[in-house]
Structures are given as C-alpha cells and as structure tokens.
Structure 1
Amino acid sequence: MFLLSRFAAYLQSQARNALLDVLSSGPIPQHIAFVMDGNRRYARRHQKEIKEGHSDGFVTLQRMLEICLRLGVRCVTVFAFAIPNFKRSAKEVDDLMQLAEEKLLELCQHGQLLDTHGVRLNVLGKTELLPLYVQAAVRKAEDLTRHNDRAVLNICMPYTSSDEITTAIQSAVQDALASGAESYGEITEKHIEAHLMTSKVSSPPLDILIRTSGVKRLSDYLLWQCCEDTQIHFTSTYWPEFGLWDFVPVILDYQRKMWVQAKA
C-alpha cells in the first residue's frame, strides 16, 4: 500500500509538471496577487480550530508559490493580515501573530522554497503595529533573502491600500518640499506611484489579482495597483482548498487575452 501511494504521488507530480511545462510555453503574468480569503469558514466547515484554518492556508501559500515560480511568475503578492484584523478576538490575533513568526522563519530556512528558487521576501504594511517578536522575525526573514534576485514574494501585513496610498502621498509631498518645489501641483501620479510599498521593492505592474472564498470585493487591497490592465478573478473555493485546478483556468484566460491583444 505504501509503495502504491508513493507511486501515485509520483505520477501526480509528473502530470503536474507536464501541465506546467505546457502552460509556461505561453504568455506568463509577471505579477500575481492573492487575497487569501476563507480560512475561518474553511475551518468551521471542517470542524477545525480557526488557527488550523490559518495554518492550512499557509500550506496553500507554499503550494501556490511553488506553482507560480515553476511557471516563471516573477512576483507574488499576498494579503495576509489587514490593519482592521487587529479588532478580531485577542486569541485569534495572538494565534495569527505566533503563526506569522513561525512561518516567516520557516520560509527562509536554508534549502526551503525561497532559498531554492532565489526569492526575496518583503513584508509590506505598518509593521510597527506588529508585536516585537514578529517584527524581529520580519527583519530576519528580509535580511536572509535580501540578496535573492530571481523572484519576489510580498507579504502584506498589517496592510490596507488606503494606508499605503496615504503614506505614499505624504512621502511625495515631503520629497517635493525638500527639493524646493513651490506647490503641490508639481506632484504627479508618477511621484505617488514611486512611493508605493510595492514600487519600493521593485514589483512589476500587477497582471492578475485572485480572491478566493466567493467574496467579490477588493477589501482595500492593492487599489492603486489594480489598473485597467489588471485581470481580476473571484473564485468560490476557500483559500486552504485552492489548488492547481483552480489556478489553471485563470492562467489560460490570461493567455487567451494576451493572444487576442497581440492579434489586434
């Protein structure tokens, strides 16, 4: 039975790799963002503790990141924790913070996914709101991957797009004043965009945004980055259950639209 199970897993892996090879022969998005929604509802449906739902969600993040890297996606950005999430129960927030510390350090261990694929990890948001032990894990994870240059993983926590845009505008104004600009009228969209958190870590333009769990809203996430060229997909699958077969139609839809544009 054990050998059969191992053989089945091998065949499944080979089939997955063959499918990814076929997909990678077409146009591949360079920046994909995920709203990893549905962890709590998934946990309730499976009679699990909320913490287990978030932990299972991290396994999905690893799985999807590996798939994206295998395809040649250069940047993945995920919404891990919103600033308003601090209003949740103290136990859930504490569990999430402990999980964040554990998984940030786990991701960056030698020989793990980020190290193997040369991925630089960035934590974007108001990190000063995080507990000190999580801030320490953030600094360590970013330092350990600082010299990786083949791909980028942005983890947004604690984050809201409104805070990001507000901070970018403030920084643009401060730069304009420091340079002797006579009026705020000299500040353009390009100045603001240059101060966005994603721009500061050299993230490419956002090609695709995917939100799981059936909720159809952006929830204050990457609002500036979701320009007219960004393709937005909503899926009813809870994040911990999201996988390759949920992802393939999104990539095929992107490729179809790129081919249509190329022929136009």
Structure 2
Amino acid sequence: MSASTVTPKPLHVAIIMDGNGRWAERRGVPRALGHREGVQALRRTIKAAPELGVKCLTVFGFSTENWSRPADEVSDLMGLIRAFIGGDLKKLDKAGVRVRVLGRRAGVPADILKLIDHAEATTAGNDKFLLQVAFNYGGRSDLVDAAQALVDRAAREGTFEVDEDTFGDQLSTAGSPPVDLIIRTSGEQRLSNFLLWDCAYAELVFQPVLWPDYGPEALQAAIEEFSRRERRFGGREVLEAPVSPSAERVVI
C-alpha cells in the first residue's frame, strides 16, 4: 500500500470479548474466575483505547442468548456488571468518558437498570471518549425492535417514508459513529449476532488471545492490522466511509 493510501486509525472499535471460559478451563479454575479476569482485561482495554486514537469503544458484555447459561454463571455475570458499573463509574466520569448501555431493558434486574440509568445520566455530558456496553443485546432483536417501533409510529401517524437514517434512529446504537473495526478474541471467527446493522462496512480482525489475557499490546496489534488494509465501501478504493449514501425508501 502506498503512503498516499494509508488507512487512518479506527475511530470506533467494537470487541467481542470471547474466551473467559476457556481461559479458566485451561487453568483448572472456576469459570467465574475467568469472567472476573475478563473484567480486568476490559479495564486495561478501556484505558488503552483513547491512548491509541480510538474515540468510541463498544464491547459485547451480555447477549440476549446468554440468559440460557447455567443460573449460577448468569448470577455471577450480573454481579460483575454491578461491580463494574458501581466501582468504575467515578473513574470513568473523571476521565471524561460517556457511558451508554445498548440492548433491551426488559428482563434486566431492577437494581441493574437503576445502575445503568445512573451511569448514563452521570456521564451524559462527557465528550472525551464514548464507551458503549452491549448488555442484554442481540443484533437481530435490535433490528426487530427498530422495525416494531416504526410500525407503531405508522399506526399513530399514518403512512410515512423510511430510509436508512430513519431506521437507524430506532436502534439502541442510534447516535453512535459507524463501526470501523470489529475485533473478536479467542480465535473464533464469527459475529455472533453483534452489531449486525452497524458493522456493514467494518473491518474484521480475529485474534487468538483469550479475553482475560487481552490488553494494550493486543489492541494495538489489531489497530495496526486495520491500518494496513484498504477500505472499500462498494467502490474500487475508498478510504473514508461515504456520507449517508442514498438508499431506497420503503413506505410503511
């Protein structure tokens, strides 16, 4: 790649934090310890991301499918979420981090909903860095919820036109920048129902490191891989995402 076509660093990085269970199994320790070490990896990554030029970080914390895991594991994960939000909020706020939580609110324990609302309200005015945590989130459910919201609006207001912007405004990710880079750890190579709308033109990087071992060096390596690529958005060679490409309109 010539110097004139170097891809800029990604502004929005999304991470599927995979491998906590395998990390624990390889060490012969409970899976709960793997999840706890995964929180430490998250803290390291949040600290490193802005230092590497990232402006927005979205992490897959808990999916709509994760409720089917054993009850004790779900309970431990809920405890970690409580501890992370409750224990790290002051530090994140002081650093100018805005916190958003993506996903469905229905079915989430009331005390966690209260913590989420408090975290979002407390950091709403921060603009140095955006941290989005996908919690009780699924890409398909987000699309379904957006479609239902538009159907409900049509029932109230009558027929209207829908384009990509109108639809995107109904997603829980509305207002966040397009995803430039999606990282999945542990060597698995799939999206697992993560940010299906938002990753339309994202670059994908799969890293073999298990999530509890993740940190600044691994994130930097993923960003360097991103920067070696020539990004295309349906054209022959484009380095910047197109601005709101014209899209078909659907009347509902």
Normalising by structure 2, we get a TM-score of 0.84
State which of 222, 233, 241 in structure 1 corresponds to 2:205. 233
State which of 138, 142, 157 in structure 2 corresponds to 1:164. 142
State which of 32, 47, 52 in structure 2 corresponds to 1:66. 47
Separation in 2 of the partners of 1:198 and 1:36? Answer: 18
- Structure 1 unaligned regions, length at least 5: 1-25
Separation in 2 of the partners of 1:179 and 1:72? Answer: 43
Structure 1 partner of 2:109: 131
Does structure 2 conserve the Cα–Cα contact (< 8 Å) formed by 1:69 and 1:117?
no
* Deviations, residues 75-112 of structure 1 (Å, cap 9, x unaligned): 11000111111111111111111111111111202xx1
Structure 2 partner of 1:173: 151
Separation in 2 of the partners of 1:151 and 1:244? Answer: 17
State whether structure 2 residue 84 is matched by structure 1 residue 103.
Answer: yes
Aligned residue type for 1:198 = T
Aligned residue type for 2:97 = V
Does structure 1 conserve the Cα–Cα contact (< 8 Å) formed by 2:184 and 2:207?
yes
Normalising by structure 1, we get a TM-score of 0.81
Aligned residue type for 1:141 = A
Separation in 2 of the partners of 1:127 and 1:139? Answer: 11
| Residue aligned with 1:153, SS | strand
Separation in 2 of the partners of 1:37 and 1:73? Answer: 21
Structure 2 partner of 1:223: 196
State whether structure 2 residue 85 is matched by structure 1 residue 85.
Answer: no
State whether structure 2 residue 169 is matched by structure 1 residue 197.
Answer: no
For this pair of structures, how many residues does the alignment match?
Answer: 228
Structure 2 partner of 1:32: 13
Does structure 1 conserve the Cα–Cα contact (< 8 Å) formed by 2:98 and 2:131?
yes
* Most deviating of 253-262 and 188-197: 253-262
State whether structure 2 residue 227 is matched by structure 1 residue 255.
Answer: yes
| Residue aligned with 1:108, SS | helix
Structure 1 partner of 2:125: 147
Say which structure is richer in strand.
2
Does structure 2 conserve the Cα–Cα contact (< 8 Å) formed by 1:37 and 1:211?
yes
* Most deviating of 121-130 and 253-262: 253-262
Does structure 2 conserve the Cα–Cα contact (< 8 Å) formed by 1:32 and 1:209?
yes
| Residue aligned with 1:120, SS | strand
Separation in 1 of the partners of 2:39 and 2:206? Answer: 20
Aligned residue type for 2:218 = D
Q: CA RMSD in A?
A: 1.8
Does structure 1 conserve the Cα–Cα contact (< 8 Å) formed by 2:57 and 2:132?
yes
1:147 CA drift (Å): 1.7
Separation in 1 of the partners of 2:109 and 2:172? Answer: 21
Separation in 2 of the partners of 1:37 and 1:56? Answer: 12
| Residue aligned with 1:128, SS | coil
Does structure 2 conserve the Cα–Cα contact (< 8 Å) formed by 1:173 and 1:187?
no
* Deviations, residues 10-46 of structure 1 (Å, cap 9, x unaligned): xxxxxxxxxxxxxxxx832111000001111111112
State whether structure 2 residue 22 is matched by structure 1 residue 44.
Answer: no
State which of 187, 205, 209 in structure 1 corresponds to 2:162. 187
Does structure 1 conserve the Cα–Cα contact (< 8 Å) formed by 2:52 and 2:220?
no
| Residue aligned with 1:198, SS | coil
Separation in 1 of the partners of 2:135 and 2:185? Answer: 18
- Structure 2 unaligned regions, length at least 5: 1-6, 232-236, 240-252
| Residue aligned with 2:106, SS | helix
Separation in 2 of the partners of 1:34 and 1:157? Answer: 13
Does structure 1 conserve the Cα–Cα contact (< 8 Å) formed by 2:103 and 2:137?
yes
